[in-house]
Amino acid sequence: MQPFQPKTTPERSPYVIAHRGISGKAPENTLAAFKLACEMPGIDMIELDVRLSRDEEVIVLHDRTLQRTSTGNGAARGYTLGEIKEFDAGSWFHTSYSSERIPTLREVLRFLNGRRWVNIELKSDFLHREKPFLLERKVLELVEGAGMNRAVLFSSFDHRMVANIKRVNPEAITGVIYNVYRDFGRLPSKLAGRVGATAFVCAKHELTRGMVRDARQHGLAIYVYTLNTTSNVNRMMELGVDGILSDNADDIVAHIKANDR
Distances (CA, A) of 98 to 36, 74, 95, 102, 208: 17, 20, 5, 11, 41
> End-to-end distance of the chain based on CA atoms, in angstroms?
25
10 within some domain: no
Dist. CA 117–CA 125, nearest whole Å: 26
Cβ-in-10-Å burial (0-12, 13-18, 19+) of 254 comes to middle
Decide: 222 and 242 in contact? Cβ < 8 Å. yes
Residue 261 is predicted with a pLDDT of: 60
- 62 as an active site residue: the answer is yes
Confidence (pTM): 0.97
248 within some domain: yes
The closest of 170, 214, 169 to 192, measured between CA atoms, is 214
Distances (CA, A) of 80 to 101, 142, 216: 14, 19, 44
Tell me, what DSSP letter sits at residue 16? E
Report DSSP letters for 19-65, one per residue: ETTTTTTS-TTSHHHHHHHHHSTT--EEEEEEEE-TT--EEE-SSSB
Tell me, what DSSP letter sits at residue 13? P
Cα 103 from chain centre: 15
Cβ-in-10-Å burial (0-12, 13-18, 19+) of 252 comes to buried
Strand 45-52 relative to strand 173-177, pairing: unpaired
9 within some domain: no
Give the domain range for residue 212: 15-260
pLDDT values of the chain reduced to their tens digit, one per residue, 261 residues: 899 999 999 889 999 999 999 999 999 999 999 999 999 999 999 999 999 999 999 999 999 999 999 999 999 999 999 999 999 999 999 999 999 999 999 999 999 999 999 999 999 988 888 999 999 999 999 999 999 999 999 999 999 999 999 999 999 999 999 999 999 999 999 999 999 999 999 999 999 999 999 999 999 999 999 999 898 999 999 999 999 999 999 999 999 988 876
Selecting among 62, 94, 218, 255, the annotated active-site residue is 62
Cβ partners under 8 Å of residue 2, min gap 6:
none
Q: How many structural domains does the chain have?
A: 1
Dist. CA 50–CA 127, nearest whole Å: 16
111 within some domain: yes
- 19 as an active site residue: the answer is yes
Selecting among 19, 94, 159, 218, the annotated active-site residue is 19
134 within some domain: yes
Residue 127 is predicted with a pLDDT of: 81
216 within some domain: yes
Q: Domain holding 118: CATH number?
A: 3.20.20.190
Residue 258 is predicted with a pLDDT of: 87
Dist. CA 240–CA 69, nearest whole Å: 34
Cβ-in-10-Å burial (0-12, 13-18, 19+) of 209 comes to exposed
4 within some domain: no
1 within some domain: no
